[in-house]
Structure 1
Amino acid sequence: MSDPELLVTKADGVVTVVFNRPQRHNAFTKAMYADLRDLCDELQASPDVRALVLRGAGGRAFAAGNEISDFLEADAVAYEEWIRELLGKLFAVPQVTIAAIDGFCVGGGLAVATHCDIRIATPESRFGYPIAKTLGNALAAPVVHRCAAVFGESLTRKMLLTGRLVDADRAYSVGALTEITEDLNGTLDELVDEVLAASATTQRATKRQLNARAVEQERAPDFDDDLLREVYTGADFNEGVRAFLAKEKPSFATHAQADAADEE
């Protein structure tokens, strides 16, 4: 029997989750999201747990996006909404959440990491949403807003509009990371010890205050569902999926020109 894709352990007030698909750079499946969603619900009623640690297996990625087949097998907009609800649950858990990042943290991986309280990473780690270069889809507005809250609007615009990844030094310089470390395990242990030694009352009260402000500012606009549906039924996403499955580079410019010609 193969190892579970989501490894969950609990010890001494700390729950550790390892995304365990190293052969796929820990890309998230619907089952992994469902398990993480259930865990977040459990943590709401687990006062004995003080910290939640998220990390990826294999040393090459925290998590690199989502399995494209899950989008193709479901209503893509409904699936995006379902993922966004999971991210909201992760954001709302009363425990201190820590993303320990080693390698690529992109797409769905970055969405999960930006919904954690604290992010630490190795120097080789990279961050971004390369969808403008790959699938030609779009993110739910609250996910974009959360990225902007963590990385700043200017860098978020650059990541999403160009598809370019951000290195760890740049992420640290804008405050998206609290620390860059060669010794991820050692730094994580020190951080967890500090969390466990601090007041849980202070931590939970502070999270409620900061999260309330974030939720209000990062609310989805009224047009978001219609916009996403237009994106997921459009030519660019179809081309992105075709190219992804064929392991080719997508030709978005060609499709944009064809669309313009059709309008004429």
Structure 2
Amino acid sequence: MTDLTTDTTGAPPEILTERRGAVQWVIFNRPHARNAMTPWMEDRLIEICRAVDADPTVKALALTGATGDKPAFMAGADLSCLQAVSSPEDFTILETRAEAAAMALESVRVPTVAVLSGACVGEGALLSACCDVRIASPSVRFGFPIARTVGNCLSVKNLARLSAVLGTARTKEMIFSARLLTADELAMAGALRTVVATEEGLVAQGQALAEELAALAPLTLWATREGLRRLRDHGLPPDIDKDLLRRCYLSADYQEGIAAFLEKRRPFWTGH
């Protein structure tokens, strides 16, 4: 059954949930904005993960994006959230909220499947990297063009997430080239279980894969994903990247990047 919970403004729901057998689906539902993430969506995703943890009849969790004029998983964070960053407290809140959503997805009790198409950019790419398995249609475009657009940076933990999925060299190349990876490139990197030939068959393939995972020994899957997460994060001290984030988010380059993006022009970088 689809969840029609609205946000605090009374607008249509930005996230839908649908139960299909033992699989709980999460559908990012802002097709007019290519499903760009909002703070309400981050909080709602955390709530859904907690509800899944409390419901033993849920055996797998699948995530996808609602399709509008073009397919999209998630085209990053909503730009209005990025515009609001003007102080250390602002970027701390932004990073903390996004990290809480990522951690909720990574630590949820059941295996997770990301069903990808179209834009899978920024926070969308990060959330898909938090999932255990990914499938995609040929339309998917995955990455972080931040060196070309807004001039911010990724946290060290998010770099670790991406390196675990893509490898260090490909992660660096993706960010340094400021381009988006195709489905074939993701598959070659081992980041996709499969590329589904058509958009129409994508959700059905996602359901079949989630059911396959749901039938396996749950404790084995949980212990494996949790063990790999601990191995990845072992030795990462707190605030290892505070200086990096502060320098990027509070820079003149970041403000120029946001302005240029809104004005649809090339930014003029100064390194300050």
| TM-score over 0.5 (shorter chain) | yes
Q: Whose helix proportion is higher, 1 or 2?
A: 1
Q: Deviations over 1:13-53 (max 9, x none)?
A: 21101111111111101111110011122222222211111
Match of 2:104 among 78, 86, 89: 89
Question: 1:262 corresponds to which residue?
Answer: none
Deviation at 1:220, TM superposition (A): 5.5
Question: 1:67 corresponds to which residue?
Answer: 78
Q: What RMSD in Å do the two structures reach over aligned CA positions? A: 1.7
Secondary structure of the residue that 1:206 maps to in structure 2?
A: helix
Deviation at 1:3, TM superposition (A): 2.7
Secondary structure of the residue that 2:36 maps to in structure 1?
A: coil
Match of 1:247 among 261, 264, 267: 264
Q: Deviations over 1:57-82 (max 9, x none)?
A: 11521101101211333502321122
Question: 1:104 corresponds to which residue?
Answer: 119
Once the two structures are overlaid, the 10-residue window that deviates more, 144-153 or 4-13, is 4-13
Contact 1:158 1:164 in 2 (8 A): no
Match of 2:232 among 198, 214, 238: 214
Q: How far apart, CA to CA, are the structure 1 residues paired with 2:82 and 2:179?
A: 23
Letter in 1 for 2:100: E
TM-score normalised to the size of structure 1?
0.90
Question: 1:128 corresponds to which residue?
Answer: 143
Question: 2:16 corresponds to which residue?
Answer: 7
Alignment pair present for 1:194 and 2:212: yes
Letter in 2 for 1:228: L
Cα gap change, 1:186/1:41 in structure 2, threshold over 3 Å: closer, same or farther? closer
Question: 1:19 corresponds to which residue?
Answer: 28
Contact 1:53 1:98 in 2 (8 A): yes
Contact 1:94 1:207 in 2 (8 A): no
Q: How far apart, CA to CA, are the structure 2 residues paired with 1:76 and 1:246?
A: 23
Letter in 1 for 2:37: F
Q: How many matched pairs? A: 254
Contact 2:72 2:120 in 1 (8 A): yes
Q: How far apart, CA to CA, are the structure 2 residues paired with 1:233 and 1:205?
A: 39
Secondary structure of the residue that 2:262 maps to in structure 1?
A: helix
Letter in 1 for 2:254: F
What are structure 1's unaligned runs of at least 5 residues?
A: 260-264
Once the two structures are overlaid, the 10-residue window that deviates more, 149-158 or 176-185, is 176-185
TM-score normalised to the size of structure 2?
0.88
Letter in 2 for 1:248: R
Instruction: Map 1:172-191 to 2 at 5 A.
Output: 172-182=187-197, 183-191=201-209
Deviation at 1:149, TM superposition (A): 0.7
Deviation at 1:185, TM superposition (A): 2.4
